[in-house]
Structure 1
Amino acid sequence: MRLLNFSLRNFLLYSFILVLVTIPISFLAIHTLLEEEVDETLLTHHDQFVNHIKSFEYLDDLEFDLQVFEQLSYDVDIVQDSFPRSGMQYSTVFIYDSLDQETKPYRELQSSILVKGHPYLLTTRLSLLDNDDLVAAIVTVVALLLMLLTIGMILINRSLSKRIWQPFYKTLTKLKAYELDKNESFEYEQTEIIEFDDLNNAVRQLTDRNKQVFIQQKEFIENASHELQTPLAIFQVKLDSLMQSRQLTEEQAELVKDLLETNQRLSRLNKNLLLLSKIENDQFPEREMIDLKPIMLKQLENFGLLTSNITIHAKHEIDSCTLYANRVLVEVLITNLVGNAYHHTHENGEVIVKLSADQLLVANSGKPLIIAPERIFERFNKQSKPGKGVGLGLAIVKKICDHAGYTIRYSYTDDRHSFIVYFDDQIRSSR
């Protein structure tokens, strides 16, 4: 909706500016037109009055009559002037009205005329009050119409934009939810918009190609792991037999020992890759009710024996925790997490394991990571002691959590690495 909201904001801003500019322009335009109309009316009244005076110039007392008329008339003033003036002059004046007790605007036309050879200043005026009220009413109506038009256009634009962009957001939502490791193809609805149909076709082709590559990679890893099992086993047997030979020198025995360790590491790597492939292929569908407490205690006992040659301070708080899960994956999850903690703890370090009804905490003291924390669960992104580990332990832990629906979090505080696995309620013990 960001693009849509940006367009609506721009449209609203332009509409607001349009209203601000249009209202004063409309006011000035209407006011100017009405003023020109008043000036024409004044000129007509002026000419009519001058013609009337000329038609009565034969009267001897015409000048006296004009003085009386000037006293009685409110819209016409005619007074004797000292000298004749040229041209006509229009102006807007404000005159106090004693009846209404307020100042009112008037439009005046002044010109010089001759009456029986004497110069007179003739002033005709018209009230602008009605015109101002009319201008105000017209501007108000125009402003309201513009506001209603702007609001209507905004609503129509929003409605049309939502309707037009609806297929795009549907495709975007499906893309966000799409997972390559799921056996699902990207499907989309046919629309009436050619561009969106082309986009959906391109996205479907792209996801299909990526899915095919992903499947081929998984099949390659699985096939390679299967094929490597037999050669590695044979190699292990041959090396064991060679180690039993009495004809080996000390130097040769050391070389065979190194080969044995390398072969064992390759075997672990092969098994872990095969395990990852099986998890991704959902080959662990069996689930049962499992009590994690005895499994956890057994693993802690085993790791305690394996690390008896170094001093590690272990703190365990193991409560009962029952899950409805696959036993093999749960055991691998616990083994890898606890093994990672013991493996990376230095001499006189500390390992903390806490199991509660809804989470598992495994922490160990150690130096900060040499990699970014968010990359700790990536394959072969490890921080291991030289010659130990294959860089897949935490990757397998993350894959098991994703497969089972658990949430795992990593943090490093107070010189301590902490992993917490949260067991979601919907996959806990069956209800």
Structure 2
Amino acid sequence: MNKKIKKIPLIQKTSKTFLWIGLVLMLGSTVVLYYYLRVVLQAEVEEELRSTESRIEKSIEEGGMDYQLPPVAEVVKVDKLDMEILKDTLIYDPSQNELEEFRELSTFSSINGQNYRITVRALVVESENILLAVVLSYLAIILVVFIFLFYLNKSRNQKVWHPFFRNLEQMKSFSLTSETPIELMDSDILEFSELNDEMTTLTNKVRADYKNLKQYTEDVSHEMQTPLAIIQAKIENVINGEMLEDTQYEQLTSIQKDIQRLTQMTKRLTLLTKIENNQFLKKEKLDISRQLKKNIQDFSEISTISIDFEICESIWVDMDSFLAQVLCSNLISNAIKYSTGHKNILVNAQNGKVTIANAGEKAIRHPEMLYSRFYRESDGAKSTGLGLAIVKRICDLYGFTISYHFEAGMHHFTVSFIE
């Protein structure tokens, strides 16, 4: 099973990408700048130390006094020359009365026949403060620039993508049944302009195809009713006539039932098409419990199966009254057709739900197929296979939910009218 991908708005997606890339670049450049400046400042300190050391050597060569300024500079006579030493060290600074970190350069030179160890030091704290000040200043400037660019980029993206979002809203409100042409916002972006042309062409074609299909369905349904009614009437005349053998009578009766089934199927297919095309826009507040009671009374007059109806409360809904009658009628008709044994059909209305239960030998093998067109669990029942499909489409139209379960030898269909 594929994992569901979390959906986020386009502007948020692009802004989030810009945000992360900007933050990574900002932090990365800050780290690079820090180490680069640290190397530069360290090189400057070492250059200053060597310059000071050179001046001290020159002063000694010219016969000046030994230069002493602890802890900044120290000159000590030694017995032998040694290797140059460059290191960091902690030295007590009397002026600050604390240990301070110094960069120390110790060189050995032979001047006027005497060996000297010349040690010069530079305070590292000052260079670290300069480094920190530069990095913080850079970080503050980059942060301000980043925030400015972020909001500039976001506002620019919103402006660039505005025609797309506007047209998307137009597509969401597009209706096949509406005669109002879709109004798309033009854009100076080539791809958006091409998309508008394609959407306009597509919507016009879909609307034209829908009208043609709707007209074809209505014409076929209307035109079929007349010849079917004529055939039905002629068969009735033949059946009621004289000199009809038993075999002929049975065949004509079977033909008559098939014609009735075909007529019913045509009407239901037309109704199903109208429901799916949202042609029932009229709504009124009505009581489903009362509608069920009316339908049960009608079926009780023509059915040999008893129906027990328990009304615990009124269930008020906003829907088309004709579809409410069709919904209740199809549920009861389905229960009557597929009921087995001698148990009564049970109808219950309470807690915003209607449950209709009929006797059955076993649970339905494929309950997920119950609401498909022309689906029948077996060929025994002579039905169109459209009753529950119509019920499901009506429920989908108004946001109701229908469910099925088998319990204690009874098929239960439950329609919930509450969200």
TM-score > 0.5, shorter chain as reference: yes
Q: How many angstroms does 1:171 deviate by?
A: 2.8
Are the aligned partners of 2:367 and 2:404 in contact in 1 as well (CA < 8 Å)?
Answer: no
Q: CA 1:423 to 1:219, structure 2 compared with 1: closer, same or farther past 3 Å?
A: farther
Q: 2:81 aligns with which of 78, 84, 95?
A: 84
Q: CA 1:382 to 1:419, structure 2 compared with 1: closer, same or farther past 3 Å?
A: farther
SS for the counterpart of 1:211 is helix
Question: Mapping of 1:94-243 within 5 angstroms?
Answer: 94-243=90-239
Partner of 1:391 in structure 2? 385
Are the aligned partners of 2:317 and 2:417 in contact in 1 as well (CA < 8 Å)?
Answer: no
Unaligned runs of 5+ in 2: 1-7
Q: CA 1:298 to 1:132, structure 2 compared with 1: closer, same or farther past 3 Å?
A: closer
Question: Mapping of 1:213-292 within 5 angstroms?
Answer: 213-276=209-272
Amino acid at match of 2:357: N
Listed one character per residue, the Cα deviations across residues 21-42 of structure 1 (whole Å, up to 9, x for unaligned) are 2222211111111222222222
SS for the counterpart of 2:205 is helix
In angstroms, what is the RMSD of aligned CA positions? 3.4
Question: Mapping of 1:310-349 within 5 angstroms?
Answer: 310=305, 314-317=308-311, 328-349=322-343
Q: CA 1:155 to 1:211, structure 2 compared with 1: closer, same or farther past 3 Å?
A: same
Q: How many angstroms does 1:382 deviate by?
A: 5.2
Amino acid at match of 1:391: G
SS for the counterpart of 2:28 is helix
Q: CA 1:31 to 1:249, structure 2 compared with 1: closer, same or farther past 3 Å?
A: same
Q: Distance in 2 between matches of 1:38 and 1:299?
A: 100
Q: Kindly indicate whether residue 416 of structure 2 is the aligned counterpart of residue 409 of structure 1.
A: no
Q: Kindly indicate whether residue 27 of structure 2 is the aligned counterpart of residue 20 of structure 1.
A: yes
Q: Distance in 2 between matches of 1:193 and 1:334?
A: 54
- Which stretch of the first structure deviates more once superposed, 206-215 or 245-254? 245-254
| Count of aligned positions | 407
Q: Distance in 2 between matches of 1:287 and 1:5?
A: 39
Q: CA 1:215 to 1:78, structure 2 compared with 1: closer, same or farther past 3 Å?
A: same
Q: Distance in 1 between matches of 2:48 and 2:74?
A: 16
Unaligned runs of 5+ in 1: 58-64, 425-431
Q: How many angstroms does 1:95 deviate by?
A: 1.5
Q: How many angstroms does 1:378 deviate by?
A: 4.8
SS for the counterpart of 2:71 is coil
Q: 1:301 aligns with which of 280, 297, 300?
A: 297
- Which stretch of the first structure deviates more once superposed, 40-49 or 151-160? 151-160
Partner of 1:35 in structure 2? 42
- Which stretch of the first structure deviates more once superposed, 41-50 or 338-347? 338-347
- Which stretch of the first structure deviates more once superposed, 189-198 or 285-294? 285-294
Listed one character per residue, the Cα deviations across residues 238-258 of structure 1 (whole Å, up to 9, x for unaligned) are 222222344333222222221
Amino acid at match of 1:258: S
Q: TM-score, normalised by structure 2?
A: 0.82
Q: Distance in 2 between matches of 1:194 and 1:175?
A: 19
Q: How many angstroms does 1:419 deviate by?
A: 3.8
Q: 2:16 aligns with which of 9, 15, 18?
A: 9
Partner of 1:361 in structure 2? 354
Q: How many angstroms does 1:165 deviate by?
A: 2.5
Q: Distance in 2 between matches of 1:230 and 1:349?
A: 40
Q: Distance in 2 between matches of 1:344 and 1:198?
A: 55
Q: How many angstroms does 1:421 deviate by?
A: 5.9
Q: CA 1:340 to 1:35, structure 2 compared with 1: closer, same or farther past 3 Å?
A: same
Q: Distance in 1 between matches of 2:296 and 2:39?
A: 95
Q: Distance in 1 between matches of 2:399 and 2:28?
A: 57
Amino acid at match of 2:399: T
SS for the counterpart of 2:384 is coil
Q: How many angstroms does 1:8 deviate by?
A: 3.2
Q: How many angstroms does 1:417 deviate by?
A: 3.3
Q: Distance in 2 between matches of 1:246 and 1:347?
A: 38
Are the aligned partners of 1:313 and 1:348 in contact in 2 as well (CA < 8 Å)?
Answer: no
Q: How many angstroms does 1:220 deviate by?
A: 1.0
SS for the counterpart of 1:106 is strand
Amino acid at match of 1:117: G
Are the aligned partners of 2:71 and 2:91 in contact in 1 as well (CA < 8 Å)?
Answer: no
Q: Distance in 2 between matches of 1:245 and 1:418?
A: 45
Amino acid at match of 1:31: R
Q: Distance in 2 between matches of 1:341 and 1:222?
A: 30
